[in-house]
Amino acid sequence: MTVTVNTVTVNVDLDARVLEEVRVATGRPELEFAAKPVRLTGGFWAELLAFRLVDPPPGWPPDLVARVMPDAYVARKESVMQTAVAASGYPTPTVRAVGGSDSTLGQAFMIMDRVSGRPLMAGLGDRRALVSGLGSASRIPDVLASTMAALHAVDPGPVRDELAGLTGIPYTVLGMLSFLRDSAERCGRADLVAAADFLIGHPRPTDREVICHGDLHPFNVLADAGQITVLDWSASLLGSRSYDVAFTTMMLAEPPLAVPSVLRPSLRALGRLLARRFLRRYQAGAGIRIDRDNLRWHQALVCLRILVEVAGWVHDGSIAGRSDHPFLISGKAFAARLADVTGAPVRPR
């Protein structure tokens, strides 16, 4: 996956281990890199190593990416989801090989095609780029809406069958809710446990199950001359389409961008306009109506998911290195939204 972000050279040991996995996967022990691999930066969870092969095997492109993941259970779910979705013709990188924590790498991984493009909102760390990016933001809801509607039209059956025996990680929306409650309890967050209990005790009517990306926002969608590619399936689930819509509307309405405080009110106002436009475009493209109460309930679930993840960072002592994470930038807004729906006073961390 080629993203226009800074790259740094990867360490030699990781280079060698990735190459060994590619040789094993292809049955080609003579394969070599055409140049030194580089690490793509900009993500928060997995390591991404971009490389080119000399004389790749038939059917494989020369340019590939190794996605090295720290959690084998999440990696298994992600690889199943991305493989099935790509096989359906949906625009996401084709997965060429997968491995678990028992691999030469010592971590779970995927080898996938490298694709070109820029995130729908790129370079927002620079203030001039921020102004430019927000000025062209009106197209973002349309792209996200059509991309999501197309995903929800993909048959979830093959994914459901593949995930049926998966343990250690939830792969349905309702399974995630129980998982979040348990995680909040382990972190000693009684406020989040209370919010989870409210959502568990007030379930919404079930509707048709779809594949939910779970993390569809402008930085996980690459655009290249009209071609759209969707990245990062680590948060994907099976469940109500309202969950996917809820996540994207929350990310648009509460933009997790570090801006001067004087710009924050204007940014939120623009974000809410974009969220409403996204919802209208999605409903028109999918040919359905999203129930308002269902959307609010699922938005609360999205906020719970975010705040439980942050609670985990506090609990394990890793939060100090995440000050620029989107979940922290908009944490107060997410806590307020969750409290509003559930009635449980919630703190952001």
Q: What is the pLDDT of residues 262-294, one digit of tens each?
A: 888 888 888 899 999 999 999 999 999 999 999
Three-state DSSP at 121 gives coil
Q: What average pLDDT does this structure show over 175-190?
A: 97
Q: Are 48 and 80 in contact (CB under 8 A)?
A: no
pLDDT of residue 210: 97
pLDDT at residue 5, rounded to an integer: 36
Residue with tokens 């095997």: 57
**Does residue 6 carry a pLDDT above 60?**
no
**Axis-axis angle for helices 292-316, 190-201 (nearest 10):** 150
pLDDT at residue 112, as a whole number = 97
What percentage of the chain carries pLDDT values higher than 70?
A: 91
> Strand 38-40 vs strand 63-69: parallel, antiparallel, or unpaired?
unpaired
Note the pLDDT of residue 298.
98
The residue with greater pLDDT, 124 or 41, is 41
The confidence score (pLDDT) of residue 136 equals: 59
Rounded average pLDDT over 74-78: 94
pLDDT of residue 35: 94
pLDDT at 19: 94
- The pLDDT confidence band at residue 331, using thresholds 50, 70 and 90, is very high
The rounded distance, in Å, linking the Cα atoms of 33 and 23 is 11
Nearest in space to 278 (alpha carbons), one of 247, 256, 257: 247
In whole angstroms, give the CA distance from residue 255 to residue 244. Answer: 17
Pick from 53-57, 181-185, 308-312, 319-323: least confident? 319-323
Least confident of 79-93, 201-215, 232-246, 264-278: 264-278
pLDDT at position 135: 54
Whole-number mean pLDDT of the chain?
89
pLDDT for 7: 37
pLDDT of residue 122: 61
Better-scored residue on pLDDT, 140 or 124: 140
Q: What's the confidence (pLDDT) of residue 120?
A: 83
pTM: 0.89
Q: Tell me how far apart the alpha carbons of residues 287 and 9 are, in angstroms, rounded to a whole number.
A: 47
The confidence score (pLDDT) of residue 252 equals 93
DSSP 8-state secondary structure symbol assigned to residue 33: B
User: CA–CA separation, 25 vs 30, rounded Å?
Assistant: 12
* Domains located in the chain, CATH noted: 7-113 (3.30.200.20), 118-342 (3.90.1200.10)
Looking at residue 58, what is its pLDDT? Answer: 92
pLDDT of 40-64, one tens digit each?
A: 875 667 889 999 999 999 999 999 9
